[in-house]
Structure 1
Amino acid sequence: MKMKYFFSILLFFIISATHAENHYLKFSSFPELPPNTGYFIQPGLAGPYSGVDDDVLIVAGGANFPDKVPWEGGTKVYYNEIFLLQKNGDAYSWKKSEAKIPFAAGYGGAVSTPAGLFCFGGNTSNECISESWFINYIPETGAVEITSGPQLPVPLTNFAFAKVDNTIFVAGGISEPGGTSKKIFLSLDISNATPDEWKWESLPEWEGPPRAFSIAAAQSNGVTNCFYLFSGRNIKQNGEVEILYDAHVYNPLIKQWSLISDGKNKEFPVMAGTAFPVGASTIAFSSGANGELMLKQMGIEKHIEELKAADKNETVDSELAKVQQKLLSHLENHPGFGNKVIGFNTLTNKTFELATLPETGQVTTTAVQWGNDFIIPSGEIRPGIRTPKILKIQVVKDAKHLSLLDIVVIGLYFLVLSWMGYFFSKRQKDTNDYFKGGGRIPWWAAGLSIFGTALSAITFMAIPAKTFATDWSYFTLNMTIFLVAPVIIFLFIPFFRKLNVTTAYEYLENRFNLTIRLIGSLSFIVYQIGRMGVVLFLPSIALNVVTGIDIFLCIALMGIVALVYTMMGGIEAVIWTDVMQVIVLLGGAILSLSLIILKIDGGFSSIVETAAANHKFNVFDLTLSLKQPTVWVMLLGGIFANITTYGTDQTMVQRYLTTKTQKEANQSVWTNAILTIPATIIFFFVGTALFAFYKAFPTELNSTFSNNDAIFPWYIASQLPAGISGLLIAGIFAAAMSSLSSSMNSAATAYSTDIHFRFGWSKNTKPLKLARIATFIVGISGTLFAFMMATMDIQSLWDEFQKVLGLVIGSLGGVFLLGILSKKANSKGVLVGIFISIMIQILVATYQPVHLIMYSATGVLSCFVTGWTASWFFKE
């Protein structure tokens, strides 16, 4: 009866927490910009310096035609005033600051920094400027301070700019009024807290023509954040104007430009527009001019100049009047700059229609991020016509409703898991049953459990996400298990089986001393709590994206269900749920892959062609570098990571001890290794197939992902039939919970055996009861850590998992290897090795001299070498 109530509450939370949104962008408005001093009406400002400082929106400078439109003889006026939009609860109001910017200017750049809104470049009514300044809002007084900043190398206006991490990049522009477009690329590192030390640097330019009035945005390319440059126009020496539709990307990590599009197909008609990043891999263009009407206007104006220069006669005068009327009609009837928001995915390099603006787009302004929203302040809506409107764009997290059938399937899956815990609880007579399954586990089930623990939700979601975003560079990493399996079988398993230990760390006391055993066991427990946070948080993202269920509620539900059946069923329940989840996940991946192949025109061959054309099958990068995911990094990092995982990780060692014989333990290791081949190929190809699918159907991709780890669950929920999608989503949760249960049980084993029972604490408490209490505490700790991770900005959970693996337990592999391989190693030397290894790992994490996959290798090697060396100076 209690179980029934539990699942009734579970289904109620799932159903009541779901919601759906129909659009990725939601539009609204802030109060309109107030008039400048001396005017009663604000027609709007083009080219203002806009940004946010101390949660206040700042709009400064800019230009407009306050009296008449330009074709009626209106004069363009520049301003130096500063407007502040302040929050007061849910209300917003404008305030005009008494402070002024140093120039009546506009069309420069503005970026929010800790030192204030950093404004640079632009032009006045008669000159381009190179100066920069900070607008610093002081919340205590409401006043504004203006201080000077680093000067640009050259005067510059109408350039593209964006902040990528802690660096501002500037591309193109014009250096003198009426001048030509420039090919110039600058950077400014603003990571130093002291602006006096900031200095502009010149960088190599892109391959392509000079440009002004182009657009820039910062977004990830799947590996690192990059500077993207789009469109613009090339104003030549003879006055001829070339409209550009191309796109380029600069990668600050490798300091190289790449061509995205040569512009022949006019994918980016966004000159002088605005752009901002959405989610993990989308750039949204909320406005922009395609240049066709501008060229038409320039053609009319050129014709007028030719007629004016011609000899006067009745025919010329008549033609001149007609052409002037044509120009007037063109200007007065200009339709504006469109209302379609174009999306561009930086991974598939595809453009698509993202949304529709409520009114025409605003150009010659910038998109400003304010909290989680983007603001388009004022700007130009037609040639010579501004708007005082302040557009607010809210990014809406889209979610797909699960059908009732899907929800029932998920509920039944959870029910089966809990029933398995109840079933195996009847067989738990003592801690030997609870921690080692009484030696009753068949080798094939132990092998599938080893494979399932390594598979987990991390493999199911993060591997396809990684190959979707990058390529097959990580393929070699998974294959290194074949190099490590013989080492585990001939070196580690015999030690653990002959000693008849419950945990791997009992051996460390036998070989060295109690202190090293405690260090190893405690390191493992800390690592497992961190691992639980990752494997809980990852599927929570999936459920949040797919159904809209709150991510914290999702973490709590999975943590509690996993805790329930692990506390009841012990290692037997853990292993048999692993067996079930391996079947479901591999079957689900194969089914999804088959449906993608059927959906894409050309099927399998088309996917292969698309992937090959986009360099998705890069496996062996032979570059001699330890900072990039080269084949050397994959081999070295994979070998040491697998030695650490399969040789010293209690979750794996515990399974070697659940079989009847050593031979069966060896067979379980080979079962895992052999299954790794098809599983790796399947999951890597799923990511590649997803890339081909979303390149063919770009509008089907959810643009609001905060990272790409939810890409596969999104496909499952949005493309698969009802019931099937529910089963696969349930499989993801089961995979996560099986990994959780492994971590809970093994960490509880380590605590109970290496600490509690070792010191004889609580002799009045039954060992089995103590084991369940330890499982409960570990499970709650891992769940709380997942809550903490949910508040962090994490681009790739695969990367985070590798960091946890390498940094927390990297030295443990070195300790075990010292004990097994070296007779000279002793406890004092090993302690020195552990200490030095920790120091080296901290330095590695801080300065990142090697790729994160190498963190395990640096931990193992540093501990082994320094521990062995130090042992020569001590005698035991």
Structure 2
Amino acid sequence: MDPSQQKHFAVVDYVIFAVLLAASVAIGLYHALTGGRQRTTREFLMADRSMGCLPVSLSLIASFQSAVAIIGVPAEIYSNGTQYWFLGCAYILGLLIPAHVFIPVLYRLQLSSAYQYLELRFSKPVRVCGTLTFIFQMVIYMGVCVYTPAFALNAVTGFELWAAVLATGLVCTVYTTMGGLKAVIWTDVFQTLVMFAGQLAVIVVGVQQSGGLSEVWRKVQDGDRIAGLDLNPDPTERHTFWTLAVGGVFLMLSLYGVNQAQVQRYLSARSEKEAVRSCYMVFPSLQLALALSCVMGLVMFARYCGEDHHTSFLATSKKDAVVIFFVMDMLQGLPGLPGLFIACLFSAALSTISSALNSLATVTMEDLIKPYFPTMTESRATYLSKALAMSYGLLCLAMSYLTHLMGDSVLQVALKIFGMVGGPILGVFCLGLFFPCANSTGALAGLGTGLAVIFWVGLGSIVTRSSGSTPLPSSCVANRLAGNSTVILQAVYSNVTLSRPSGLKRFYSLSYMWYSGFSCSAVILMGLIVSFLTGPLKEEDVTPGTVYPLMGKLLCFLPEHLKKKLCCVTPLGQTISACQRQPPHQKENNGEAFHRNEELDSCLPEEVSLPLVEQETFV
């Protein structure tokens, strides 16, 4: 960036940024020195299962609302209009299904890691594969979340890049290692409030400097930034109502249904009722966060439309940095407000990274270490959990450096990988929850197939650059030509026809919003085929409480004897004892007796569900 175009922080901006980091460390220190002082894995990894629904819900929002979203959504609206806003429609089913399906099943099993479910339902190899897939996903995403805001801040203000990276990574590592999940959740609460305050300040000042609400509305309308309801069913269209509202449901399920970072928050709630309420409370907050980001993008367009930016920073830089430039440009004469937005941006980064660190430490401890060292003492396990959190924090810094070396396109690549990995994991959970006949071999085959197919599509789109979009014109003047309408329509149709990809390139053009749904479907389809070929399980062979009676609820109007023939009708609220958890008569596809791993009983209580009366309220 030309030094003459760079914006600068005032002293008060640096103070606000430093206060954010200091407050986060202070919260971690407080939880390290109070309560049980993080001396047990139950307290360090699960917050003693004592959290209320309000902090849990705010933490769920903060984990999802990453720095990439804070600066990525306004840039998307600025370039392509408000079509992305329809993603909010996906939040309805994307939160209702986890609240009424995933939370009841996982909470009643009283697990620490979501992937323990995969061993209870299938086998240890499926659990290990699920854990390793999740670790791969989160390690890559952590590097992106640290590097993206630091790069954007450096590009606009000249703020030292690696100072920002190190400050973010080290502060996260310190308070997550000291204070455990309690510190992560309460810092998320604080950081969520900072996020909303920062975005709101930018919008208010931006509207004022753009001439008021009516002027902003006129400019965005004339600039074609207000999108209509696009019902084009073509799955290769990047953003339509169907890709966002339907494809987005699968993305939401992969995040709020089976992602360890979110599941761990449900499991930290003091009761199942509190966990379900926290999921409900996320909905209005997510809608507010999406609305603020979209309005910010519209205000940014109204502020700069009609100006000549061919040689300016807005034309030559990446989208991520454009949003920071807009904020610094508007708030330059208001000391403290630029610092507030940067604090908002880094709050999003801190919350996402701390959630990742804690969840990675949990799955590594519970899925990869404890099963092989069942006699490990509680104090040693807690110490090792803290060491794991610190190690993942250092790995996060290494990944951010790797992101820097890979160049500009790595951010898009890493975000696609994040979407590609979540879908297959969701598919394995759905296979276990909704299909009692699915066996371990089918689950492994389905997971492998889902990952292979979606990585083929994703990497193909990166190589052929098939997933990009053409930004709308940046003029404030309405894009309505007064010439012959027939000629205009013919030209548009000709352009669409010529630009439509064919063959494999069309396959690679699948919208990234369908990645989770496509890979989830591939896992379920292949899993069922292989399960039937290798010997499907019977209802009595499945560990009680690990199957959600979906068909039984959908076919509730049928007589009981017909439902028993057609589907699994075992009530979800059945009490599960340790002896029931590992049925000795279960058979694998080779006909030999298959016995569940016995270590699981050592980390689960004898009774792992709530009383039937209370559970039925949520089923």
Deviation at 1:853, TM superposition (A): 1.5
Letter in 2 for 1:839: A
Deviation at 1:22, TM superposition (A): 4.2
The one of 142, 160, 182 equivalent to 1:572 is 182
User: Which segments of 5 or more consecutive residues in structure 2 lack a partner in the other structure?
Assistant: 461-504, 536-587, 589-619
Quote the Cα distance in structure 1 between the aligned partners of 2:241 and 2:345.
Answer: 30
Letter in 2 for 1:589: Q
Letter in 2 for 1:715: F
Is 1:737 the counterpart of 2:344? The answer is no
Quote the Cα distance in structure 1 between the aligned partners of 2:151 and 2:516.
Answer: 27
**What secondary structure, in the 3-state scheme, does the structure 2 residue paired with 1:791 have?**
helix
Indicate if the aligned counterparts of 2:198 and 2:343 stay in contact, CA closer than 8 A. Answer: no
Going from structure 1 to structure 2, the CA distance change for 1:630 and 1:712 (only over 3 Å counts) comes to: same
Is 1:707 the counterpart of 2:318? The answer is yes
Is 1:819 the counterpart of 2:432? The answer is yes
Matched residue, 2:70: 460
Deviation at 1:792, TM superposition (A): 2.9
Indicate if the aligned counterparts of 1:744 and 1:779 stay in contact, CA closer than 8 A. Answer: yes
Q: Identify which range, 560-569 or 840-849, moves more after superposition.
A: 840-849
**What secondary structure, in the 3-state scheme, does the structure 1 residue paired with 2:533 have?**
coil
Is 1:776 the counterpart of 2:390? The answer is yes
Indicate if the aligned counterparts of 2:90 and 2:248 stay in contact, CA closer than 8 A. Answer: yes
Deviations 1:113-143 (A, max 9, x none): xxxxxxxxxxxxxxxxxxxxxxxxxxxxxxx
Is 1:851 the counterpart of 2:511? The answer is yes
Q: How does 1:710-725 map to 2 (within 5 A)?
A: 710-720=321-331, 721-725=334-338
**What secondary structure, in the 3-state scheme, does the structure 2 residue paired with 1:691 have?**
helix
Matched residue, 1:501: 111
Matched residue, 1:612: 221
**What secondary structure, in the 3-state scheme, does the structure 2 residue paired with 1:474 have?**
helix
Deviations 1:648-699 (A, max 9, x none): 1000000101111111101111111121222211210100110110126657
The one of 83, 101, 105 equivalent to 1:491 is 101
Quote the Cα distance in structure 2 between the aligned partners of 1:434 and 1:478.
Answer: 34
Deviations 1:243-295 (A, max 9, x none): xxxxxxxxxxxxxxxxxxxxxxxxxxxxxxxxxxxxxxxxxxxxxxxxxxxxx
The one of 182, 185, 193 equivalent to 1:583 is 193
Matched residue, 1:860: 520
Indicate if the aligned counterparts of 1:532 and 1:743 stay in contact, CA closer than 8 A. Answer: yes
Going from structure 1 to structure 2, the CA distance change for 1:869 and 1:584 (only over 3 Å counts) comes to: same
The one of 130, 134, 151 equivalent to 1:541 is 151
The one of 599, 607, 611 equivalent to 2:209 is 599
Indicate if the aligned counterparts of 1:551 and 1:790 stay in contact, CA closer than 8 A. Answer: no
Deviation at 1:537, TM superposition (A): 1.4
**What secondary structure, in the 3-state scheme, does the structure 2 residue paired with 1:414 have?**
helix
**What secondary structure, in the 3-state scheme, does the structure 2 residue paired with 1:480 have?**
helix
Matched residue, 1:789: 403
Going from structure 1 to structure 2, the CA distance change for 1:701 and 1:606 (only over 3 Å counts) comes to: farther
Deviation at 1:580, TM superposition (A): 1.1
Going from structure 1 to structure 2, the CA distance change for 1:541 and 1:437 (only over 3 Å counts) comes to: same
Is 1:553 the counterpart of 2:152? The answer is no
Indicate if the aligned counterparts of 1:437 and 1:572 stay in contact, CA closer than 8 A. Answer: yes
Matched residue, 2:247: 637
Indicate if the aligned counterparts of 1:474 and 1:619 stay in contact, CA closer than 8 A. Answer: no
Letter in 1 for 2:13: D
Deviation at 1:524, TM superposition (A): 0.7
Indicate if the aligned counterparts of 1:439 and 1:660 stay in contact, CA closer than 8 A. Answer: yes
Quote the Cα distance in structure 1 between the aligned partners of 2:185 and 2:308.
Answer: 40
Q: How does 1:316-715 map to 2 (within 5 A)?
A: 398-426=5-33, 427-601=37-211, 603-628=212-237, 629-695=239-305, 702-703=313-314, 706-715=317-326
Matched residue, 1:87: none
Quote the Cα distance in structure 2 between the aligned partners of 1:482 and 1:756.
Answer: 37
Indicate if the aligned counterparts of 1:475 and 1:619 stay in contact, CA closer than 8 A. Answer: no
TM-score by length of 2: 0.75
Flag the structure with more relative contact order, 1 or 2, with Cα contacts below 8 A and sequence separation at least 6: 2
Deviation at 1:804, TM superposition (A): 2.0
Going from structure 1 to structure 2, the CA distance change for 1:801 and 1:691 (only over 3 Å counts) comes to: farther
Deviation at 1:646, TM superposition (A): 0.9
Quote the Cα distance in structure 1 between the aligned partners of 2:312 and 2:338.
Answer: 17
User: Which segments of 5 or more consecutive residues in structure 1 lack a partner in the other structure?
Assistant: 1-19, 24-397
- Structure that is richer in helix per residue: 2
Indicate if the aligned counterparts of 1:555 and 1:787 stay in contact, CA closer than 8 A. Answer: no
Quote the Cα distance in structure 2 between the aligned partners of 1:761 and 1:555.
Answer: 38
Q: Identify which range, 829-838 or 520-529, moves more after superposition.
A: 829-838
Deviation at 1:704, TM superposition (A): 6.7
Matched residue, 1:361: none
Indicate if the aligned counterparts of 2:66 and 2:349 stay in contact, CA closer than 8 A. Answer: yes
Quote the Cα distance in structure 2 between the aligned partners of 1:767 and 1:401.
Answer: 47
Matched residue, 1:803: 416
**What secondary structure, in the 3-state scheme, does the structure 1 residue paired with 2:225 have?**
coil
Quote the Cα distance in structure 2 between the aligned partners of 1:637 and 1:790.
Answer: 31
Going from structure 1 to structure 2, the CA distance change for 1:524 and 1:801 (only over 3 Å counts) comes to: same
Higher gyration radius (CA): 1
Going from structure 1 to structure 2, the CA distance change for 1:438 and 1:867 (only over 3 Å counts) comes to: same
Output the aligned Cα RMSD.
2.0
Quote the Cα distance in structure 2 between the aligned partners of 1:762 and 1:803.
Answer: 40
Indicate if the aligned counterparts of 1:471 and 1:617 stay in contact, CA closer than 8 A. Answer: yes
Letter in 1 for 2:218: E
Deviation at 1:622, TM superposition (A): 1.8
Deviations 1:141-163 (A, max 9, x none): xxxxxxxxxxxxxxxxxxxxxxx
Indicate if the aligned counterparts of 2:314 and 2:322 stay in contact, CA closer than 8 A. Answer: no
**What secondary structure, in the 3-state scheme, does the structure 1 residue paired with 2:246 have?**
helix
Deviations 1:327-362 (A, max 9, x none): xxxxxxxxxxxxxxxxxxxxxxxxxxxxxxxxxxxx
Task: Count the aligned residue pairs.
Answer: 481
